[in-house]
Copies of this chain bind each other. A is one copy, B any other.
Amino acid sequence: MSDDRLAQQIAFLVEADKLKQVIRRTPLADGSRKENSAEHSWHLVLTAIVLREHSADDVDLLRVLEMLAVHDLVEIDAGDTFAYDTQDLVTKAEREQAAADRVFALLPPDEAARLRTLWEEFEAHESADARFANAVDRLQPLLQNASAKGGSWRDYDIDRGQVLQRMAPIERAVPAAWPLVLKIVDEFCASGLLRTSPARTGSDRSA
């Protein structure tokens, strides 16, 4: 019985290794290459540990770290969906649910249920733990984009309003970091790497 559990857990852990091959849009801080979702997940864990004191709400840090450790596992099947790719975002939920059905189910049922529930809590953005975890997941790539002077927005038609909307969870969950977010975004606008307003006229987007 315990042997079966261990064998299932090991199979899950070996499968999880594939997250190291899922490449994100965010560059490393020195711009030398794009980061993968496994090292990104580690960086979020570290960020949550270090910035916990700035959380607007009381959080259970252990739950936050567990959430961050598993939050991208579905990408093993579903791939990384770029946050500003509206077409890809349409199918994201469906692809990720199917991935969760397979990946978490490698674990013993009780552990699979517990970690999948944590992942769903992260995706729902509702609990204090999930709000803090999501804020951390927004802030770390922004810091790397700032350090690498460009990164994910350079090749896409993205404007200031879109970035600030994407970063909004930071304002609520880690308000102390919001002035820094605005400063980084404004510097990107000033340097011409980010549009100040939407590019297309006559689109259905509002500024």
Known: A10-B180, A38-B42. A50 touches B2 (CB 8 A): no
Q: Contact at B17–A29, with CB atoms within 8 Å? A: yes
| With known contacts A28-B20, A41-B42, A65-B65, A176–B12 Cβ distance under 8 A | no
Q: How many chain copies?
A: 2
Partner-contacting stretch, out of A92-100, A140-148, A161-169: A140-148
Q: Which secondary structure dominates where chain A touches chain B?
A: helix
**A-B contacts besides A41-B42, A42-B45, 8 pairs, CB < 8 Å:** A2-B176, A6-B176, A6-B180, A10-B143, A38-B38, A38-B43, A49-B70, A65-B66
List 10 tightest A-B contacts by C-beta distance, closest first: A42-B42, A38-B39, A17-B29, A62-B62, A39-B39, A20-B39, A41-B42, A45-B69, A65-B65, A38-B42
